[in-house]
Structure 1
Amino acid sequence: MKTTQKEKLINMIASGVNDLHNNYPHIDKLNVFPVPDGDTGTNMNLTATNGFNEIKDAELDSIGQILATFSRGLIMGARGNSGVIFSQIVKGLSQGMKNSEDLSPKEWKKGLNAATEIAYKAVMKPIEGTILTVIRETSEQANKLPDDMDVKEFWKKIVQYANQSLENTPNLLKALKDVGVVDSGGYGLVKFLEGIANYVINDKVTPRLAQLETNEGGNLTMDLMEKEFGYCTETIVLLRPEWVNKLQVNTIRDQLQLYGNTSSVVVIDDDILKVHTHALNPGQVLIFLQQYGDFQTVKVENMNLQAERQVTQKTTSNKMPKWTENSKITPKRSLANEQATIAVVASEQLKYYFENELGIDLAIDGGSMMNPSTNDFLKAIEQVDAKSVLIMPNNSNVLLTARQAEKEEHKSKVFVIPTKTIQQGMASALNFDPSASPQKNNTNLTRAIKSVTSFNISQAAKDSVVDGVTIKKDDYMGIVDGHIMMSVPSLNVIFEKCLSRYITNRTEIITVFTGQESDAKSISDLRKYLDENYDIEYEIIEGGQKIFNFLISIE
Structure 2
Amino acid sequence: MKKIQELMNMLTSGVNNLYNNYPHIDKLNVFPVPDGDTGTNMNLTANNGYNDIVDGDFKSIGDLLSAFARGLIMGARGNSGVIFSQIMKGFSRGMTSAKELSVAEWKQGLQGAKEISYKAVMKPVEGTILTVIRETSEAADSFADDMDIKEFWKEIVKVANISLENTPNLLQALKDVGVVDSGGYGLVKFFEGIASVAIEDKIIPKTDKLEINEGGNIEMQLEDSEFGYCTEAVVLLSQDWIDKLEVNTIKEQLQIYGNTSMVVVIDEDILKIHTHALTPGQVLLFLQQYGDFKTVKVENMNLQADKQIKGGNPNVKTEWKETSSIKAERKLRNEMATIAVVPSQELKDYYESELGIDLVINGGSKMNPSTNDFLKAIEQVDAKTVFIMPNNSNVILTAKQAEKEETKSKIYVIPTKTIQQGMSSALSFDSATSPSKNNTNLTKAIKNVVSFSVSKAAKDSTVDGIKIKKNQQMSIVDNKIVDVAQSLKTVFEKHLAKYITNKTEILTIFIGQDADAKNVNDLRKFLDENFDVEYEIIEGGQKIYSFIIGIE
TM-score bracket, normalised by the shorter chain, equals: 0.5 to 0.7
Taking the aligned partners of 1:530 and 1:514, their CA distance within structure 2 comes to 12
One-letter amino acid of the counterpart of residue 485, structure 2:
V
What is the SS of the residue equivalent to 1:550? strand
Deviation of 1:16 (Å): 0.9
The question of whether the paired residues in 1 share the 8 Å contact of 2:4 and 2:60 is answered with yes
Question: Unpaired runs of 5+ in structure 2?
Answer: 227-236, 292-317
Deviation of 1:51 (Å): 5.2
The question of whether the paired residues in 1 share the 8 Å contact of 2:26 and 2:214 is answered with no
Q: Which residue of 1 aligns with 2:104?
A: 110
Shift in CA distance, 116/126, structure 1 to aligned 2, threshold 3 Å: farther
One-letter amino acid of the counterpart of residue 98, structure 1:
A
Deviation of 1:59 (Å): 3.1
- Residue by residue over 1:238-263, the C-alpha shift from the partner in whole angstroms, topping out at 9 and shown as x without a partner, is xx9x9997554543554454444699
**2:510 counterpart of 1:513:** yes
What is the SS of the residue equivalent to 1:219? coil
One-letter amino acid of the counterpart of residue 9, structure 1:
L
The question of whether the paired residues in 1 share the 8 Å contact of 2:114 and 2:134 is answered with no
Taking the aligned partners of 1:244 and 1:206, their CA distance within structure 2 comes to 50
Q: Which residue of 1 aligns with 2:484?
A: 487
Question: Unpaired runs of 5+ in structure 1?
Answer: 232-239, 293-318
Taking the aligned partners of 2:60 and 2:386, their CA distance within structure 1 comes to 52
The question of whether the paired residues in 1 share the 8 Å contact of 2:104 and 2:145 is answered with no
Taking the aligned partners of 1:63 and 1:493, their CA distance within structure 2 comes to 60
Q: Which residue of 1 aligns with 2:98?
A: 98
- Residue by residue over 1:327-364, the C-alpha shift from the partner in whole angstroms, topping out at 9 and shown as x without a partner, is 677856776x9x998765332221123445x3736441
Q: Which of 163-172 and 534-543 deviates more?
A: 534-543
Q: Which residue of 2 aligns with 1:167?
A: 165
- Residue by residue over 1:356-414, the C-alpha shift from the partner in whole angstroms, topping out at 9 and shown as x without a partner, is 5x37364412525387977566445438x9xxx99794848689979x99xx99999x9
Taking the aligned partners of 2:351 and 2:153, their CA distance within structure 1 comes to 53
Deviation of 1:191 (Å): 1.2
Task: Give the number of equivalent residue pairs.
Answer: 477
One-letter amino acid of the counterpart of residue 550, structure 1:
F
Deviation of 1:98 (Å): 1.9
One-letter amino acid of the counterpart of residue 132, structure 1:
I
Shift in CA distance, 479/43, structure 1 to aligned 2, threshold 3 Å: closer
Deviation of 1:135 (Å): 1.9
Deviation of 1:57 (Å): 3.8
Q: Which residue of 2 aligns with 1:7?
A: 5
Alignment of 1:25-44 (within 5 A): 27=25, 30=28, 32-33=30-31
- Residue by residue over 1:64-114, the C-alpha shift from the partner in whole angstroms, topping out at 9 and shown as x without a partner, is 65446656776888864454345335544x26x8242xx6xxx3x334433
Alignment of 1:151-166 (within 5 A): 159=157, 162-166=160-164
Q: Which residue of 2 aligns with 1:88?
A: 90
Shift in CA distance, 181/325, structure 1 to aligned 2, threshold 3 Å: farther
What is the SS of the residue equivalent to 1:545? coil
Deviation of 1:182 (Å): 1.7
Shift in CA distance, 476/204, structure 1 to aligned 2, threshold 3 Å: same
Q: TM-score, normalised by structure 2?
A: 0.61
Q: Which residue of 2 aligns with 1:184?
A: 182
The question of whether the paired residues in 1 share the 8 Å contact of 2:193 and 2:203 is answered with no
Taking the aligned partners of 1:199 and 1:192, their CA distance within structure 2 comes to 12
Deviation of 1:429 (Å): 7.9
Q: Which residue of 2 aligns with 1:307?
A: none
The question of whether the paired residues in 1 share the 8 Å contact of 2:452 and 2:477 is answered with yes
Alignment of 1:110-259 (within 5 A): 110-119=104-113, 123=118, 130-132=131-133, 135-136=136-137, 139=140, 147=148, 159=157, 162-171=160-169, 174=172, 176-199=174-197, 201=200, 203-204=202-203, 206-207=205-206, 213-220=213-220, 229-230=224-225, 248=246, 250-259=248-257
Alignment of 1:458-473 (within 5 A): 458-460=455-457, 463-466=461-464, 470-473=466-469
Taking the aligned partners of 2:262 and 2:356, their CA distance within structure 1 comes to 39
Q: Which of 118-127 and 477-486 deviates more?
A: 118-127
Taking the aligned partners of 2:396 and 2:544, their CA distance within structure 1 comes to 20
Shift in CA distance, 248/351, structure 1 to aligned 2, threshold 3 Å: same
Shift in CA distance, 38/448, structure 1 to aligned 2, threshold 3 Å: closer
Deviation of 1:131 (Å): 1.3
Shift in CA distance, 489/451, structure 1 to aligned 2, threshold 3 Å: same
Deviation of 1:457 (Å): 1.4
- Residue by residue over 1:140-160, the C-alpha shift from the partner in whole angstroms, topping out at 9 and shown as x without a partner, is 89769973x8x5x88667545
Shift in CA distance, 85/452, structure 1 to aligned 2, threshold 3 Å: closer
Shift in CA distance, 497/326, structure 1 to aligned 2, threshold 3 Å: farther
One-letter amino acid of the counterpart of residue 353, structure 1:
Y
Shift in CA distance, 7/198, structure 1 to aligned 2, threshold 3 Å: same
Shift in CA distance, 262/183, structure 1 to aligned 2, threshold 3 Å: farther
The question of whether the paired residues in 1 share the 8 Å contact of 2:15 and 2:47 is answered with yes
Taking the aligned partners of 2:35 and 2:265, their CA distance within structure 1 comes to 26
Shift in CA distance, 143/262, structure 1 to aligned 2, threshold 3 Å: farther
Instruction: Give me the identity figure in percent.
Output: 44
The question of whether the paired residues in 1 share the 8 Å contact of 2:19 and 2:206 is answered with no
Taking the aligned partners of 2:389 and 2:156, their CA distance within structure 1 comes to 46
Taking the aligned partners of 2:278 and 2:55, their CA distance within structure 1 comes to 37
Alignment of 1:124-523 (within 5 A): 130-132=131-133, 135-136=136-137, 139=140, 147=148, 159=157, 162-171=160-169, 174=172, 176-199=174-197, 201=200, 203-204=202-203, 206-207=205-206, 213-220=213-220, 229-230=224-225, 248=246, 250-260=248-258, 322=321, 326=325, 331=330, 344-355=341-352, 358=354, 360=356, 362-367=358-363, 369=367, 375=375, 378-379=378-379, 381-382=381-382, 393=389, 395=391, 422-423=419-420, 438=432, 454-460=451-457, 463-466=461-464, 470-474=466-470, 475-480=472-477, 484-502=481-499, 511-516=508-513, 518-520=514-516, 523=517
Equivalent of 1:524, from 518, 523, 529?
Answer: 518
The question of whether the paired residues in 1 share the 8 Å contact of 2:36 and 2:215 is answered with no
Deviation of 1:550 (Å): 0.8
- Residue by residue over 1:251-304, the C-alpha shift from the partner in whole angstroms, topping out at 9 and shown as x without a partner, is 355445444469999999x99x9x9x9x865999x9999x99xxxxxxxxxxxx
One-letter amino acid of the counterpart of residue 494, structure 1:
V
